[in-house]
Chain A
Amino acid sequence: MTLLLISPILIPLITAALCLLVWRRPVWQRWLGTAGAFALLSASGLLLKLVWDRGIQAEQMGSWPAPFGITLVADLFSAVMIVLAGLTGAAVFVYSHGNIDRFRESFGYYPLMHLLLMGVCGAFLTGDVFNLYVWFEVMLISSFVLLALGGERGQIEGAFKYVTLNLVSSGFFLAAVGLLYSVAGTLNMADLAVKLRETSNPPLITALAMLFLVAFGIKAAVFPLFFWLPASYHTPPVAVSAMFAGLLTKVGVYALIRVFTLLFVQDPAYTHRLILVISGLTMLTGVLGAMSQNEFRRVLSFHIVSQIGYMIMGLGLFTRLALAASVFYIIHHIIVKTNLFLVAGIVHRHTGTMELKRLGGFYESRPLLALLFLVPALSLAGVPPLSGFFAKFFLVKGGLAIEQYWIVAVSLFVSILTLFSMIKIWAEVFWKPASEPEQAVSSRARSLWAPVAALAAITVFIGVGVEPVFRLSDAAAVQMLNPEEYIRVVLGGNR
């Protein structure tokens, strides 16, 4: 089974290298890239099944025993995240057939997308803190280039803000890794989990935890470190921003959840409480920002920030139910948010603009598109019976169970504002009469619809079949709250 665990990294790597080999033939690259994305999706599905059937899987690279070598670990949370990465990748690649222009195709769009996927999957799979840093950088370098590729002025400016803030975050992360090594003498996460639980100096560990919180907080775009996100995510082509919106910030969330369940649990009354407060502020500022925007993708970008708040709310509450709700929320959010960006792309394709004021009339001219927008939009706001309703329901239930009424109140209030914001888009883009004539659409636009319809179907499916998805999230949460199995699998007979 060793190949299955490494394949989410190897498949994108090999696909990217093959795409480089056929650099002069963008059409080949396009099909190669799509095939690679679907291969990744199927491998990730198999990996999830393996982890579900047989428990946490670990693999020591180069047979160097943990904690000395690099370990790849797939627990349920990692495996679920990899499936989501595969799903986003496949949807975005199909969408790219109709969305990416010749210029970007011939300057390495497809290999870069696969390098990005490789970085994301590597970050999900690694069991080593420094290795996590390396995967973050792989991911960031490819995302920098994807963001700037094309060289329009808005893109360049957005890329600059993105680069600066993310490099500062990497600097903090690197310093935190160095300090962690000096304190614990190891960087293997399972080994760290053991050593940090036996630590003689908890305040020092808590201080380190804060450094990690800032580093991952920037990457995850939590309050007050989110300003780079709405400044950059609406600038590149839709396929790129859908990939970023769906996947990239969630890697930051993944890292937060991973280190604050496995490593930094010395003083949850302080650290997790702080995370909870941050989550409330993140939800609120994000949604307020979204309400003041009038550009389709900028509205959605601010909603990403707001939704990140919900995801880490479960981490802040830090109970089994809340953590399971967080995992559920991430599953729901990645699918829905990717889909909303893709819908925005179709709207843009037909009108050539993203300004809400200049759009209109889509309900009349394209009722199917209106329906495909409504599904993820209402799901995002939390209308039953879609996936978002259950995600919020479990979070609220988790909050009520430990009597954190204020955060429950904030989250419900924010979800009303989210609904308001989605209705605003609905009214502006779909309901009000068209103000400008539509543009002619080329035949390649057909590939834009398939992923949107598929993701909408998955959203409905998660809403209807909530039980199995929640069981999966719950099992993932149980694994994270009881790291003994993780530690045993990684360290094997060494402890």
Chain B
Amino acid sequence: MNSVILSAATVLLKPLLTFISLFVLLRGHNEPGGGFVGGLIAASAFVLQAIAHGVPPARRSLRVRPRLLIAGGLLTAAASGLISVAMGAPFMTGQTYALPVLGWKLSTALLFDIGVYLVVMGAVLHIIFTLVEDAP
């Protein structure tokens, strides 16, 4: 698609969307948000670029292949569940680890959400890139 406005807006919107997606991902721990929505927003950033500039630039700026994102996400999610098994609790029981600085906490729930984020982003991009490239 050759639209100057869309292509100019994409340059601004893409980093913004990526940033928002991370914000939504982290916010999801206690409030509405989370990996799924975050992943969709992140995917929409690259889909926007694919619409404005074509799929090859979007693929290039993603750097990794979407299916690697899916694989990484699946493994991350599985690992987040297995951490609790290693600690003797049932699969996927939430575990938190308090960092010694700033009172921050790391949790397996966040790790799982990151996995979801990667899977959703990878799956959506894989589907849309393939459909667009396949188009006549």
Contact = CB atoms under 8 A, between A and B. Distances in A.
Interface of A: 2-3, 6, 10, 13-14, 16-18, 20-21, 23, 59-63
Nearest to A14: B78
A63 B92 CA distance: 8
Contact of B71 (A3, A10, A17, A59): A17
A333 to B, nearest CB: 32
A68 to B, nearest CB: 14
A23 B70 CA distance: 12
Contacts, number: 50
A13 B85 contact: no
B11 interface: no
A14 B82 CA distance: 12
Contacts of A59: 90-91
B9 interface: no
B63 to A, nearest CB: 16
B28 interface: no
A59 B68 CA distance: 31
B93 A63 contact: yes
A457 to B, nearest CB: 35
User: Would you list the 7 A-B pairs with minimal beta carbon distance, nearest first?
Assistant: A20-B71, A17-B74, A63-B93, A62-B92, A17-B71, A6-B91, A17-B75
Nearest to B70: A20
Contacts of B90: 2, 59-63
Contacts of A3: 85, 91
A2 B75 CA distance: 19
A65 to B, nearest CB: 11
Interface string B76-114: 001001100100011111100000000000000000000
B67 interface: yes
Nearest to B92: A62
Interface of B: 65, 67-68, 70-72, 74-75, 78, 81-82, 85, 89-94
Nearest to B89: A63
A18 B71 contact: yes
A158 B126 CA distance: 25
Contacts of A14: 74-75, 78
Contacts of A18: 71, 75
Contacts of A23: 65, 67-68
A150 to B, nearest CB: 16
B109 to A, nearest CB: 9
A239 to B, nearest CB: 22
Given A17-B75, A63-B93, 14 more contacts: A2-B91, A13-B74, A14-B74, A17-B70, A17-B74, A18-B75, A20-B67, A20-B68, A20-B70, A20-B71, A21-B68, A62-B90, A62-B94, A63-B90
B74 A16 contact: yes
Contact of A61 (B68, B72, B74, B91): B91
Nearest to B77: A13
B78 to A, nearest CB: 6
B67 A2 contact: no
A62 B93 contact: yes
A383 B74 CA distance: 47
Contacts of A61: 90-92
Nearest to A115: B74
20 contacts: A3-B91, A6-B81, A6-B91, A10-B78, A10-B82, A17-B71, A17-B74, A17-B75, A20-B68, A20-B71, A23-B68, A59-B90, A59-B91, A61-B91, A62-B91, A62-B94, A63-B89, A63-B90, A63-B93, A63-B94
A288 B76 CA distance: 51
A274 to B, nearest CB: 39
